[in-house]
Amino acid sequence: MKGFSVPNDKIGLVLSGGGIRGMAHIGLIKALQERNIEPTQIAGSSVGALVGALYANGNSTDDMLNFFKETPIFQYSFFAIGKPGLIDTAKYYPLFKKYFVQDSFEALSKKMYVVATDLLKGEEVLFASGELIYPLLASAALTPVFSPIEINKTLYADGGIMNNFPKEYLDDTCDYIIGSNVSIAEELKKKDLNNVLQLAGRVTGLMIYASNKEKLSQCNLSIEPKELEAVGMLDKKGIKKAYTLGYDYGSKALDKIML
């Protein structure tokens, strides 16, 4: 593999949160596989945790895309009753169990680090062993749409709240780190900031992006497709576009280092 001689067991992959835009992660993985590059350690937050776990589970990129295509976001029977949030995240467990049959970090073929947020203590929490599905659901429980997940009497939510790009968990064990950031801080117009909710969302997005940007720059190889700003965070119609962008950006970045 001309121009790239790092052994796979020393390569780490960091996948950010970002909703449907995270399908770009799958495109990057496809580009990596075509070049026989297989990271053995993965750190992910929110949708990055889901994609990373599917990858570590041995699912093909087609399987990964089907997982997101088939998993409903807004479904009447999933609406939350007596819980904070619009959607009851725990109701996704049976759908996840079809893919993660053993429901265990130890059953994965790659080392996986999943970040979630402890809402009660206001702390970032790392899951890397034991039960797998509930930590994944917690990491992807985007507030206020999805309800928090209860694990051992503690409420957990979206990992992106505290750490949307958990690169630091790979720093000591990987010689080469590949990063994929899909939380894009797109440019807005004045009309897009007309109320307190829009303003709060914008400020939160900028804070997350600032944190991502610094750590992304520390990766040995990174992709950040700016065109993802046109893909809605929860718009499943954008799955193919996001995937294609990730594949194209990933292929170009990899080809440069392999020349």
Nearest to 178 by CA among 60, 19, 23, 25: 25
The answer to whether 251 is a known catalytic residue is no
Choosing from 46, 139, 147, 251, which is the catalytic residue?
Answer: 46
Choosing from 158, 180, 222, 251, which is the catalytic residue?
Answer: 158
The answer to whether 9 is a known catalytic residue is no
Cβ-Cβ contacts under 8 Å for 171 (sequence gap 6 or more) = 177
Q: Which two tokens stand for residue 201?
A: 């969302």
Q: Considering Cα of 24, then 29, then 35, then 37, what sign does the dihedral take?
A: positive
Q: Which helix (H) or strand (E) holds 199?
A: helix 196-216
Give residue 108's Cα distance to chain centre.
17
Nearest-angstrom CA–CA distance, 184 and 230: 10
Cβ-Cβ contacts under 8 Å for 52 (sequence gap 6 or more) = 13, 15, 25, 42, 43, 44, 112, 114
Active site residues: 46, 158
